[in-house]
Amino acid sequence: MSFQCRSCAGTRFAPVVDLGETPLANALVETAALDRREARYPLRVVFCTDCSLVQITETVPPEILFSNYVYFSSFSDAAVASAKTIAQRLALERKLGKDSLVMEAASNDGYLLRHYRDRGVPVLGIEPAANIAALAERNGVPTCCAFFGREEGERLASAGICCDVFHANNVLAHVADLNGFVAGVKAVLKPDGVASIEVPYLGELVDNLEFDTIYHEHLCYFSATAIDRLFARHGLFLSDVERLAIHGGSLRLFVTHWNGERTQRLKDLLDEEERRGLTRRDAYADFETRVLGLRKQLVALLTKLKTSGKKLAAYGASAKGATLLNFCGIGGDLIDFVVDRSTVKQNMFTPGTHLPIMPTEALLARKPDYVLLLTWNFAEEILAQQADYRKIGGKFIIPVPQACIV
């Protein structure tokens, strides 16, 4: 293994899973480009035996991944609701007002910061995708178009721009230079400030076979233990943690400058990870075997339905959907089309598998018998939205942790 751990620079690794070579999960294809060969990259996951960080071995330049992005957080009702809840809560708990500042890295279209703004709290987003940063600005959320890291954090701090609350929601996993990112947080966080970090939880990924959350944008898969070791290296203190249901199971971690008492729930989670073996290679020994078994089961189910004359579609032109479709070899021979709420994705084609992406209204218009739910992490929200389709007999297939029809 020629690369170093993204957190501790260690070189000792144990294999977790190899998903082969896949296209970039958010590299949707335009009609004019369907005949062009897509770039593919290895998608292998390993466990660092020195600091417990689970990570992929390939680093695609962030300029390729994020400079023009197609994921808009505001298209997810669950993401918006979760953002509103934490913003309102921290505004009250931290007594934020007109003299405060809330900052967010990878702030997307301002879906979180606008809740602070609406309460009269100054905000600043840092968003690398130019198209999304421009949209946030039009929506009234001040946004710098930049990648957040050591350089950007120190630039802001030297200009006297420091924050009371720093948000990093579902961005840490995307960062190649973890130590540079954390150094940037340390630079911009006021002495009594707090950073709220949200990451998909490794424990849920392992338990529920969430292999489709693995793609090139997600360089790392975090346990609380690995996060604790990363931030401690920079003199920052992990003080509390909350378990969230969003994105198939996430952690919300609170980080400060001061080294105080950990909450009991954080102590309990760190102890639990040690007991379960998430800090050792043992927990990952059979993960690939289980993933291969799930692939076999899902493909068999879809093939059986298709050969019996059923019409199949999919819901959600998501990154996780791209991983699942490509790894499982599910293409136009099984699935007729994909629907998505995002108008940005409609009339495009899925990476690798080249399935046409249509508005969600296509489910009622075309009436497929079964819909493979690629965005299963929002299953409750989507099933409720598609009540009319389900009333006419339409059924959904949830693919993980095992394929089931609902």
Question: What is the domain class of 65-284 according to CATH?
Answer: alpha beta
Is it true that 65-284 and 302-405 share their CATH fold? yes
The pLDDT value recorded for residue 168 is 97
Once rounded to an integer, what is the mean pLDDT over residues 340-349? Answer: 94
Distant-in-sequence, close-in-space partners of 75: CB < 8 Å, separation ≥ 6: 341, 342
Q: What is the pLDDT of residues 196-227, one digit of tens each?
A: 999 999 999 999 999 999 999 999 999 999 99
> What pLDDT is recorded for position 61?
86
pLDDT at 287 over 90: yes
pLDDT at 250 over 60: yes
- Supply the pLDDT for residue 365: 97
Is residue 199 within 8 A of residue 255, CB to CB? The reply is no
Bridge partners (DSSP) of residue 40 are 23
At 228, give phi and psi (nearest 5°): -60, -45
Q: What is the pLDDT of residue 273?
A: 97
Contact call for residues 170 and 221 (beta carbons, < 8 A): no
Residue 90: pLDDT band with limits 50, 70, 90: very high
Which helix (H) or strand (E) element contains residue 404? strand 404-405
Averaged pLDDT, 314-324: 96
Q: What is the pLDDT of residues 107-141, one digit of tens each?
A: 999 999 999 999 999 999 999 888 899 999 999 99
Look at residue 374 in the predicted model and tell me its pLDDT.
Answer: 98
Residue 74 has pLDDT above 70, yes or no: no
Higher pLDDT, 74 or 18: 18
3-state secondary structure 340-400: CCCCCCCCCECCCCCCEEECCCHHHHHCCCEEEECCHHHHHHHHHHCHHHHHCCCEEEECC
- How far apart are the C-alpha atoms of 389 and 397, rounded to whole Å? 14
The token pair that represents 161 in the structure block? 């721009």
For the segment 146-162, the average pLDDT, to the nearest whole number, is 97
What token pair was written down for 50?
């020195």
The pair phi, psi for residue 30, each rounded to 5°, is -80, 160
pLDDT-derived band of residue 249, with 50, 70 and 90 as boundaries? confident
- Nearest by Cα to 61 from 148, 144, 176: 176
| Sequence spans of domains, the chain | 65-284, 302-405
* Amino acid at position 34, single letter: L
Mean of the per-residue pLDDT values for the chain?
A: 94
User: What pLDDT shows up at residue 65?
Assistant: 77
**Quick one: pLDDT at residue 70?**
54
On whether the CB atoms of residues 342 and 374 are closer than 8 A, the answer is no
Q: Please classify residue 285 by burial: count the beta carbons closer than 10 Å to its beta carbon, then call 0-12 exposed, 13-18 middle and 19+ buried.
A: middle
Q: Tokens 């593919």, residue? A: 40
Model confidence band, residue 73 (pLDDT cutoffs 50, 70, 90): low
Classify domain 302-405 by CATH number.
3.40.50.720
Q: Which stretch of DSSP H or E encloses residue 318?
A: none
Position 69 pLDDT exceeds 80? no
C-alpha–C-alpha distance, residues 278 and 295, integer Å: 24
The span from the CA of 256 to the CA of 160, in Å, is 19
**Which residue, 159, 88, 142, is CA-closest to 119?**
88
